[in-house]
Copies of this chain bind each other. A is one copy, B any other.
Amino acid sequence: MERYKVILAYDGTHFQGFQRQAHGRPVVEARTVQSEIEAALRNLEWRGKAVLTAGRTDTGVHASGQVIAFDLEWRHSLADLQRAFNAHLPSDVAVRAVGLAPANFHPRYAAASRSYQYRLFCDPARHPLVERYAWRIWPAVDLERMQLAASYLVGRHDFSAFGTPLRANGSTIRTIYQAGWISDGKVLEFTICGNAFLYHMVRRLVFIQVEIGQGRLEPDMILRYLAEGRKLPQQGLAPAQGLTLVKVSFKDHFGEPSADHDFGETDCAENIHTESK
């Protein structure tokens, strides 16, 4: 029996989030990434109760770099495991890489940082080929105001204005290593890398930056929200389909990939090393 670490990609459109809904017994079970993953693993003689994950994603949120781990008896190669696993998964979820991990590896506790991307599409009219993975907004935004707002997010702050911790009374302090926007014509992409994120935090940060970019709020409102937390009126939530979990980075190098997929450190993770000194 070995512990395996796996990088997953999924299109969140038709999933009710990552996590299997374990409470009670609903008449029709929700379709989640976890339930599809576990059903596929059972075809490979997996006997576990639940896979371990680096973090949940909400209904409609996508992933290109989600990480899970599980124990499995497997006599063939890692490449064979990847192929067999993929053969049992539906078309909207796929195993991008497989590696061996130490027996005590848990992706949530071993994770040093998570990176998310959020895509905006600035256009007055709908576009079916873009909006599956982006939030369409109009009027256009002022990118410089949004870059300034994003720069205020970097560092160790109380993000209680932008989300709730997963555990009741948990800390709302998080460290952001990188945050910024890039523009490709009408598509704007926000990338944020932090040690961890509160529930709904990235989508709330995107929403307030769109308010700033469209001129309804000033960039330094970010500073006020970070300083005053829940005392200020709560802002809205950007829709799920623009958000993708792109990468989970780990403190050490756990396991060798089966393919040429990058299991390694990011620029963001280099900042972590500085941070944790």
| CA of A259 to CA of B259, assembled, Å | 46
Contact yes or no, A125 B95, CB < 8 A:
yes
Bound together, the chains give a CA A62 to CA B97 distance in angstroms of: 30
Give chain B nearest CB distance to A231 CB in angstroms: 39
A94 lies within 8 A of B126 (CB): yes
Note all chain B residues with C-beta closer than 8 A to A10: 128-129
0/1 per residue, A77-108, Cβ < 8 Å to B? 00000100010000111111100000000000
Cα–Cα distance between A259 and B96 once the two chains are bound (Å): 40
Residue of B nearest to A94 (CB): B126
Q: A126 and B86 in contact (CB under 8 A), knowing A11-B132, A132-B11, A132-B132? A: yes
In the complex the two chains form, what is the Cα distance from A261 to B126 in whole Å?
12
Query: For chain A residues 47-101, which have a beta carbon within 8 Å of chain B?
Result: 62, 64, 82, 86, 91-97
Q: Are B91 and A125 in contact (CB under 8 A)?
A: no
Question: Is A9 located at the chain interface by the 8 A CB criterion?
Answer: yes
Q: What total of chain A residues lie within 8 Å of the partner, measured CB to CB?
A: 26
> A93's contact among B91, B94, B128, B261, by CB below 8 Å, is which?
B128
Question: Of the candidates B91, B124, B133, which one forms a contact with A259 in the assembled complex, judged by CB atoms under 8 Å apart?
Answer: B124
Whether A129 lies near B259 (C-beta < 8 A) is no
Does B9 lie within 8 Å of A94, measured CB to CB?
no
The answer on a CB contact under 8 Å between A96 and B82 is no
A259 to chain B: which residues have CB within 8 Å? 124-125
Residues in B whose Cβ lies below 8 Å from that of A11: 128-129, 132
A224 within 8 A of B: no
Residues of B within 8 A of A129 (CB): 9-11, 62, 64, 133, 244
Cβ–Cβ < 8 Å partners of A42 in chain B: none
Interface centre among A64, A86, A91, A132 (most CB of B within 10 A): A132
Q: Which residues in B have their C-beta under 8 angstroms from that of A127?
A: 9, 64, 94, 96
Give A94 to B126 CA distance when docked, in angstroms.
6
Q: Is the CB of A125 within 8 A of B86?
A: yes
A7 → chain B closest CB, angstroms: 10
In the assembled complex, which residues on chain B have CB atoms less than 8 Å from the CB atom of A128? 9-11, 91-94
Measured in the bound complex, the distance between the Cα atoms of B126 and A86 in whole Å is 8
Distance A97 CA – B94 CA, assembled complex (angstroms): 36
Q: Mark A121-156, 1 if CB is under 8 A from B, else 0.
A: 000111111011100000000000000000000000
